[in-house]
Copies of this chain bind each other. A is one copy, B any other.
Amino acid sequence: MEPSRTATSAPGSDVCDDEQRVGEIGHALFRVARAHRAAAGRLLREIGLYPGQEVMLGRLADHGDTRQSRLVLELGIDPSTVTKMLQRLERQDLVERRPDPVDRRVSVVAITAKGRDLLGRIEDSWRRLDEITCAGFEDEDRVRLAGLLERLEHNLSTCQE
């Protein structure tokens, strides 16, 4: 979503500084997000993955067997997205799913050895991506940006509930 420039110059109303800046952050965030995701996509494609899949694998590697409903909560994505992503990762033998012995509604997910073998390369990919993304940034810049992003994320997750 990006602001239209015509919108802020409605007939008969002066464009003050506040109005001029509305949408500016959203505008910039949208463009950065798209470019970041595209760059991630290019790097991940080198190891046969798509953006988002590496997050899933990393999380499964960290936490071991996990039920899908927990993945939905902790990754913050739609249940159907989790199902389809896992189906694709399963097809590539990177994860395995099995029914819960106690609760037959539940699927439990685990990373496979093949999936685990990718973790090193995944780490290399996002390291390279961050080197690109934050080129020229001092530690102070990174800390400041991380703080601002955290506040944005908090604002956006609050509105979602």
Contact between B26 and A157 (Cβ–Cβ < 8 Å)?
no
- Give the contacts of A34-60 with B (CB-CB under 8 A): 34-40, 43-44, 51-52, 54-55, 57-59
Docked pose: A54 CA to B146 CA in angstroms: 28
* Number of identical monomers bound together in the oligomeric complex: 2
Nearest neighbor of A31 in chain B, beta-carbon distance: B153
Residue A6 lies at the interface, judged by CB distance under 8 Å to chain B = yes
Residues on B with beta carbons closer than 8 Å to the beta carbon of A123: 3-4, 7-8, 23
Docked pose: A38 CA to B81 CA in angstroms: 13
Residue A106 lies at the interface, judged by CB distance under 8 Å to chain B = no
Contact between A156 and B36 (Cβ–Cβ < 8 Å)?
yes
Residues on B with beta carbons closer than 8 Å to the beta carbon of A3: 58, 123, 126
- Give the contacts of A88-133 with B (CB-CB under 8 A): 119-120, 122-123, 125-127, 129-130, 132-133
Residue A70 lies at the interface, judged by CB distance under 8 Å to chain B = no
For chain A, give the interface size range: 35 or more
User: In the complex, which of the residues B29, B122, B146 contacts A24, with contact meaning CB atoms closer than 8 Å?
Assistant: B146
Nearest neighbor of A152 in chain B, beta-carbon distance: B32
Contact between B136 and A1 (Cβ–Cβ < 8 Å)?
no
Contact between B58 and A4 (Cβ–Cβ < 8 Å)?
yes
Contact between B39 and A7 (Cβ–Cβ < 8 Å)?
no
Residue A15 lies at the interface, judged by CB distance under 8 Å to chain B = no
Contact between A160 and B7 (Cβ–Cβ < 8 Å)?
no
Could you list 11 examples of A-B contacts with CB < 8 Å?
Answer: A1-B55, A2-B54, A4-B122, A23-B123, A24-B130, A29-B32, A29-B33, A30-B40, A30-B55, A33-B33, A39-B156
